[in-house]
Chains A and B, each alone.
Chain A
């Protein structure tokens, strides 16, 4: 199973929530800047890749049972958003990679292991 650590490695990511467990499983990935789409279509337990870094991302993920967030394209949530995520136990990763490259690399990760879609 692909883990948070695997995703971080693939996107050269930085973990913004140091207490998060690297072995958290990543069964599925959903990529969008639209929280409306996350609410409508992301499956529970998914990792979210997004270029949006406002507090609504954390609220949306909490409501929709998203398991972790990867902020792409160098976007970084401010300290209050990180604090909100830590309080809810939501792991946050930041990467400088653009959305497409991050998605492509993660898709390879799923493809190589043969257990993704």
Chain B
């Protein structure tokens, strides 16, 4: 990946900072649009990024989102420092959520985040360690449109 990446950006995400929610996802969306990727790829990447960004804000202490665009592929890696996920398989179940009532009042925490990231990805990996944090790798193929 390192050798073929033609475009990279990295963004910090602060846990608990709901006022900035969506900032990184919107930036990623704008960048991918500027790179000339097709609208479906841009939308899928934006949705996956937004769900991942919200997860960091809602559950972790801090995180970093790394975007790498190479010919034919968008790769987004999200690393957070946080409580981790005790049962990843359970967390991947649609509707399963540990969200607080406050998160739900904002319109999130319906237990759709991780499944929706997977749905919008062509490749998806998740690793989590309780007490340390979670790492997501999201790959989206760009339908043949080269950046």
In the complex, how many angstroms separate the beta carbon of A105 from the nearest chain B beta carbon?
Answer: 24
Q: A62-B22, A62-B26 known; A56 and B43 CB under 8 Å?
A: no
| Chain A at the B interface: SS class | helix
| B50 touching A39, Cβ below 8 Å | yes
| B107 touching A56, Cβ below 8 Å | yes
B: interface residue count bin: 20 to 34
Q: A39-B116, A44-B43, A65-B43 known; A60 and B110 CB under 8 Å?
A: no
Distance, CA A54 to CA B50, complexed state (A): 16
Distance, CA A64 to CA B113, complexed state (A): 14
Chain B positions 31-83 with a Cβ under 8 Å from a chain A Cβ:
39, 43, 46-47, 49-51
In the complex, how many angstroms separate the beta carbon of A49 from the nearest chain B beta carbon?
Answer: 13
- Which residues of chain A come closer than 8 Å to B13, judged between CB atoms? none
| B110 touching A36, Cβ below 8 Å | yes
Q: A34-B107, A35-B107, A56-B107 known; A63 and B112 CB under 8 Å?
A: no
- Which residues of chain A come closer than 8 Å to B26, judged between CB atoms? 59, 62-63
Q: A34-B107, A59-B21, A63-B25 known; A39 and B112 CB under 8 Å?
A: yes
- Which residues of chain B come closer than 8 Å to A37, judged between CB atoms? 110, 112
State which of A40, A44, A56, A63 has its C-beta within 8 Å of the C-beta of B106. Answer: A56
In the complex, how many angstroms separate the beta carbon of A89 from the nearest chain B beta carbon?
Answer: 13
Residue from the set B22, B50, B107, B119 with the largest chain A CB neighbour count within 10 Å:
B107
Distance, CA A65 to CA B33, complexed state (A): 13
| A39 touching B43, Cβ below 8 Å | no
Distance, CA A53 to CA B108, complexed state (A): 13
B112 — nearest CB in chain A belongs to which residue? A36
| B21 touching A33, Cβ below 8 Å | no
Spell out A's residues near B (CB within 8 Å).
33-37, 39-40, 44, 52, 54-57, 59-60, 62-65
Top 6 closest A-B pairs, CB basis?
A: A59-B22, A35-B107, A36-B110, A36-B112, A63-B50, A63-B46
